[in-house]
Amino acid sequence: MICAGAIVADMVARSIPAIPAAGASAKTPEISLNIGGCAANAATGLARLGRDVQLCGAVGEDDLGNYLARALAAEGVGLELFQQKIGQRTGTTFVINTDGEDRRFISDTGANDCAWPEEVPSEALADVAVLSVHAHGLSERPHVEDLLRWFKEARDQGTLTVLDVIYIPGRNLLKELEELLPYVDVFTPNDEEIRKLFGEMAPDRALQRCLDMGVGTAVITRGENGVIWQDSDGVGDLHAPDVDEVDGTGCGDAFVAGWIDAHLDGLTIREKMMRGSLMGAAAALQPGAIAGLPDRSQLNSMFRNNSSLLEDPS
């Protein structure tokens, strides 16, 4: 399978009591350098579970790019479609955790904005079970035209297509989704992204809107409030596992990894949501996007401890 899209180096600050005022300082227990970027996070999650996954995207030919290449290879992520671009900066994100608040992100997308999608040959998409595109909207590339080419080629050969997005003010992401979603099997925004796309629309209406735009399955992840979804069989929901969250960075990417893993195992839609939710919960237990990602044994243990979540409330 292929995870394509954003690859960055994450600089993650452990939680501080409050964002300092202008000119003031704050001390954090730790600032760590980690694998980051939605595509890299999801690929790492799948590799931890023993899946054969290729990461498709671009970094710079610099110290951070070299770090990411080494760290991803050590995780077992395939790098045949991973490009290091001469003269480009590796994308970097500062992740700031604040007590009692959601994370804050400051990103330099770097090499993610360069012309890397053109260098992904059509044959790279051949015989791929899943093509998952991550963080569309964050960087300049891939363009909609790039994604349409990939998704159409993938669909023609029966490949499952997955899309997640990051909403950046000033970009007409809704118009782009109107073009893309007819070629997407699974769309996985979180609740904040849905609000930015559709305003204060009720979740069930937002799900139906996504299906009306052409997607096969629409999924809204909602952190501690669980996950809701809709497909041709109707609407479903699943409570979130009860965990003591340390850092929510990468939880959505971990969810996608778990969902894809369950899909490859041929599980039911509810079981896919369950496995995705467990992966997301595990990611929240450690700082950064990948430190908490479980291996297969750890994921199975989490399932045994949370099996009651599979019960359908209807």
**Residue 186 is encoded by which pair of tokens?**
């699974």
Q: Which of 10, 8, 5 is nearest to 288 (CA)?
A: 10
Q: Are 111 and 90 in contact (CB under 8 A)?
A: yes
**Residue 281 CB-half CA count within 13 A:** 23
| Cα–Cα dist 33/20, whole Å | 22
Q: Are 44 and 127 in contact (CB under 8 A)?
A: no
| Cα–Cα dist 206/297, whole Å | 36
Fold classification of 2-16+32-301 (topology level): UDP-N-acetylmuramoyl-L-alanine:D-glutamate ligase (3.40.1190)
Q: What is the pLDDT of residue 312?
A: 67
Least confident piece of the model among 11-15, 71-75, 168-172 = 168-172
Tens digit of each residue's pLDDT (9 = 90 or more) over 84-106? 999 999 999 999 988 888 889 99
Average pLDDT value for residue range 265-277: 97
| Cα–Cα dist 290/41, whole Å | 6
DSSP state of 168: -
Average pLDDT value for residue range 208-220: 98
Q: What is the pLDDT of residue 14?
A: 87
Average pLDDT value for residue range 255-267: 98
